[in-house]
């Protein structure tokens, strides 16, 4: 059975339940990871001199990770966990690129174990329409990696919160 274009026949082939569960897991696990990043931003900004590095709490993911790496590199109070934090933050940045591709495309064709996307990429000089295929394996790997990356970030946040209490 060949895949039908989503735009032409939205009730043609649909993603399998496995694919939908993997997407749900990747979304949920990403929110855990991003919450850990937010916790570290708040703690470092208010209690570990981050407000001297940046006058405003960063709100966008890329600004948050850039800010956190700077804080962990500069703060002597954070030096015991700096290497682990920076490594996990860099892992989160790499995952962010993969997540963006997986979650911000426009589905055009569904297959049981993959989804084909059209993705409008905005560059400084032009808009480019790209096509990507995202597989069940890729989505499951993103979910797993997001959860595994959040673990050291959560431990660091918990440790820093305990030092404050």
The overall longest dimension of the chain from CA atoms, in Å, is 61
pLDDT at position 5 over 50: no
- Of the candidates 28, 5, 46, 15, the one whose C-alpha atom is nearest the C-alpha of residue 131 is 5
The model's pLDDT over 34-69, given as tens digits with 9 standing for 90+, comes to 999 999 999 999 999 999 988 999 999 999 999 999
- Of the candidates 43, 96, 97, 36, the one whose C-alpha atom is nearest the C-alpha of residue 71 is 43
* Greater model confidence, 71 or 119: 71
pLDDT value, residue 6: 43
pLDDT value, residue 8: 45
If DSSP codes are grouped into helix, strand and coil, which group holds residue 116?
strand
Q: Is 127 left (phi over 0), alpha (psi -120 to 50) or beta?
A: beta
The model's pLDDT over 125-160, given as tens digits with 9 standing for 90+, comes to 767 777 788 888 999 999 999 999 999 999 999 999
Both tokens of 108, joined, read: 């055009």
Tokens 């959860």, located at residue: 147
pLDDT value, residue 89: 98
Alpha helices in the chain (DSSP H): 17-47, 50-53, 61-74, 79-103, 136-164
């Amino acid at each position: 059975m060949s895949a039908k274009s989503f735009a032409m026949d939205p009730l043609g082939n649909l993603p399998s339940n496995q694919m939908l569960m993997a997407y749900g897991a990747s979304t949920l696990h990403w929110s855990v990871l991003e919450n850990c990043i937010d916790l570290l931003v708040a703690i470092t900004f208010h209690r570990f001199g981050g407000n001297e590095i940046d006058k405003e709490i960063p709100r966008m993911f890329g600004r948050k990770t850039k800010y956190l790496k700077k804080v962990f590199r500069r703060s002597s109070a954070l030096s015991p966990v700096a290497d682990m934090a920076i490594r996990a933050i860099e892992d989160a940045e790499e995952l962010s690129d993969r997540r963006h591709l997986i979650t911000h495309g426009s589905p055009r064709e569904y297959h049981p174990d993959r989804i084909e996307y059209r993705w409008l990429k905005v560059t400084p000089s032009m808009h480019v329409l790209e096509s990507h295929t995202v597989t069940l394996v890729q989505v499951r790997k993103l979910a797993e990696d997001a959860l595994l990356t959040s673990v050291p970030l959560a431990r660091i946040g918990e440790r820093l919160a305990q030092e404050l209490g």
